[in-house]
Structure 1
Amino acid sequence: MEAAQEAPDRPPLDLNALSDAAFLSAKGIPQLTVVESTGSTNADLLRGVTEDPRAWPDLSVLAAEYQSAARGRLDRRWEAPARSAVSVSVVLRPVNAEGRPLPTQSYSWLSLLAALALRQALLDTAGIPAELKWPNDVLVRGRKIAGILAQLGPLGDGAAPPVVLGTGLNVTLTEAELPVPTATSVLLEDPATVDRTELLKSYLSHFAVLYRSFCNADGDPAAGMAGGPSLHKRVEAVLTTLGKQVRAQLPGDHEIIGHASRLDEYGSLMVVDAAAHEHVVTAGDVVHLRPWAPPAADDAGPDSAESGYA
């Protein structure tokens, strides 16, 4: 671990490999742009799809070597050293094979689909087993290695609004460079490689296959996809949140504490509280808690449910 504390060599992304016409064509990616530095790739693409929608067709990709104003969920800011992460955003204009837009209620699955693709990329490329944490994190041994943020673009010309999907993967961050102690990076997980180009290509490859299959199923998470189980089943199989006691922090300073039981058809988390009431959690932070025994009915309450962080 001592050696890992030293900042590793951080080569740039391989533009030739990423711009390879055969790779882009096979994955249905119309364009892939890499910039040396920007505030936020998500913000850049949101501005792009607003000002010049035709310039950013479905599956357009923007990656950055360094982001100075990246934002996560709940408007949290984060920053990583240049060339230490995979920072990438993708424009999505979900339509089926006939060109019919997907229902917008299916959009809530897109960040989970991306997390699933990134999990597979980590396993295939770096040999790192990972899990998903609802709604949009990728974990290794309980520590966050990546986060995903989906943002809705403007509604124009009567068509369904586009989605900008941003992904930030910690690759060569050392222990000292991690944003919080509960984070990790590819480097710190005994990887087969820390090649950001290969990780990015693998992620985009897996994402494109799952995304196209999801679109061709009209955004139905219960439909079989890419020659295998449905998106719903695939996500639930690797979602470490399920089966845990959680605290769901909701907008407006509200919270629910209980047992995370399943995902509904919209990708929302179902949480059963100590009084056996099932709640639908559609957005908000979820904290995994240590296991607890349900209190007696006359004793039930949020305070008795919480026993700290896992």
Structure 2
Amino acid sequence: MEAAQEAPKRPPLDVIALSDEPFLAAHGIPQLTVVESTGSTNADLLRGASENPAAYPDLTVLAAEHQTAARGRLDRRWEAPARSSVSVSLVLRPVNADGRPLPTQSYSWLSLLGALALREALLETAGIPAELKWPNDVLVRGRKVAGILAQLGPMHGGAVPPVILGTGLNVSLTTAELPVPNATSVLLEGPATVDRTVLLKSYLSRFALLYRSFCNADGDPAAGMAGGHSLHKRVEAVLTTLGKQVRAHLPGDHEIIGHASRLDDYGSLMVVDSGGHEHVVTAGDVVHLRPWTPPGQEPEGGGRRGSAESGYA
């Protein structure tokens, strides 16, 4: 890690490779656009889907070389150097093979599905073993390398509203450029590649496969998916949050302390307190979720507490 302090060369995304017609067609991506700079790819797609829904079909992709007003959960804002990250958003209009919309309660799984796809892409492409942190982070060795932000789009004519799914992956950030101390980047983890085009194509292909399988199962997280186990089981298997003592900070200065035991059918975190009561913690409500160590005990990880709060990258 110490040898990678100078900012590396940061070539642009290969638009020709990303726009390859066979690649797009094979993954059901109707259009993929790369812009040099924008405030937020999520905001752009939310606005576009509102003003002209027909022009933004399912799996429309927008990537940016630089975002100047990117935001994550609870409106946390962040900015990374140009061409140092994979910043991409997708329009999702989930329907099954018969064209029937998925129940909106299944939408809560989409950010976890995106995180799982990114984890698989990092392992496959860069050789990096990543894990998930509930509700929307991807970690490498306990440090945040990426985040996911799902936002519900506008409803038109009674149609089911789309979901805009944004993903921010730190790729070539040096230690000095990290947004918070508990973050990391692909570059800092000894990767097989830091080629953002390769990483983005791998992520999109993984996501499209999982997403289509999830849609064809009518959004049932317990149904078997492409590649084997259900989405529910696959997420739980790589969710570093489970089995830990956590402190969930909720709106109104409320908190729940207990054992993170499992995910429920809606992707919410179940936390069992010291009295044995099970609490439902939803991604939409939680302000912060952090490891918790009882007074007088050593925290896990050699004393490192807290979590990166850097939005969706």
Give the counterpart of 1:309 among 298, 305, 310. Answer: 305
Equivalent in the alignment of 1:104: 104
Report the CA distance between 1:119 and its aligned residue. Answer: 0.0
1:279-290 → structure 2 map (5 Å cutoff) = 279-283=279-283, 284=286, 285-290=288-293
Q: Distance in 2 between matches of 1:251 and 1:14?
A: 43
Q: Distance in 1 between matches of 2:70 and 2:227?
A: 35
Equivalent in the alignment of 1:264: 264
Equivalent in the alignment of 1:299: none
Equivalent in the alignment of 1:7: 7
The superposition leaves residues 160-207 of structure 1 with CA deviations (integer Å, 9 ceiling, x where unpaired) of 110000000000000000000000000000000000000000000000
1:295-306 → structure 2 map (5 Å cutoff) = none
TM-score under structure 2 length normalisation: 0.93
Report the CA distance between 1:261 and its aligned residue. Answer: 0.1
Equivalent in the alignment of 2:125: 125
Report the CA distance between 1:291 and its aligned residue. Answer: 6.8
RMSD: 1.5
SS in 2 for 1:95: coil
Equivalent in the alignment of 1:212: 212
Structure 1 unaligned spans of 5+: 295-306
The answer to whether residue 255 in structure 2 is matched with residue 255 in structure 1 is: yes
SS in 1 for 2:12: coil
Report the CA distance between 1:62 and its aligned residue. Answer: 0.1
Equivalent in the alignment of 1:159: 159
Distance 1:229 1:87, change over 3 A: same
Partner amino acid, structure 2, of 1:258 = G
Contact 2:33/2:61 (CA < 8 Å) preserved in 1? yes
Q: Distance in 2 between matches of 1:171 and 1:22?
A: 26
Q: Distance in 2 between matches of 1:227 and 1:117?
A: 12
Contact 1:244/1:291 (CA < 8 Å) preserved in 2? no
SS in 2 for 1:234: helix
Contact 1:101/1:159 (CA < 8 Å) preserved in 2? no
Report the CA distance between 1:308 and its aligned residue. Answer: 8.0
Partner amino acid, structure 1, of 2:305 = Y
Contact 2:257/2:292 (CA < 8 Å) preserved in 1? no
Report the CA distance between 1:254 and its aligned residue. Answer: 1.4
Contact 2:41/2:67 (CA < 8 Å) preserved in 1? yes
Partner amino acid, structure 2, of 1:198 = V
Deviates more, 1:273-282 or 1:168-177: 273-282
Partner amino acid, structure 2, of 1:14 = D
The superposition leaves residues 59-96 of structure 1 with CA deviations (integer Å, 9 ceiling, x where unpaired) of 00000000000001111000000000000000000000
Q: Distance in 2 between matches of 1:227 and 1:136?
A: 22
1:178-217 → structure 2 map (5 Å cutoff) = 178-217=178-217
The superposition leaves residues 247-290 of structure 1 with CA deviations (integer Å, 9 ceiling, x where unpaired) of 11112221111100000000000001111111000121211234
Distance 1:44 1:155, change over 3 A: same
1:44-55 → structure 2 map (5 Å cutoff) = 44-55=44-55
Distance 1:186 1:116, change over 3 A: same
Q: Distance in 2 between matches of 1:125 and 1:253?
A: 42
Q: Distance in 2 between matches of 1:309 and 1:259?
A: 16
Partner amino acid, structure 2, of 1:260 = A
Aligned residues: 298
Equivalent in the alignment of 1:81: 81
Contact 1:242/1:260 (CA < 8 Å) preserved in 2? yes
Contact 1:57/1:91 (CA < 8 Å) preserved in 2? yes
Report the CA distance between 1:292 and its aligned residue. Answer: 7.4
Contact 1:29/1:59 (CA < 8 Å) preserved in 2? yes
Equivalent in the alignment of 1:302: none
Distance 1:237 1:292, change over 3 A: farther
1:90-101 → structure 2 map (5 Å cutoff) = 90-101=90-101
Q: Distance in 2 between matches of 1:210 and 1:30?
A: 17
Contact 1:132/1:139 (CA < 8 Å) preserved in 2? yes
The answer to whether residue 150 in structure 2 is matched with residue 150 in structure 1 is: yes
SS in 1 for 2:305: coil
Structure 2 unaligned spans of 5+: 298-302, 307-313
TM-score under structure 1 length normalisation: 0.94
Equivalent in the alignment of 1:298: none
Q: Distance in 2 between matches of 1:57 and 1:157?
A: 16
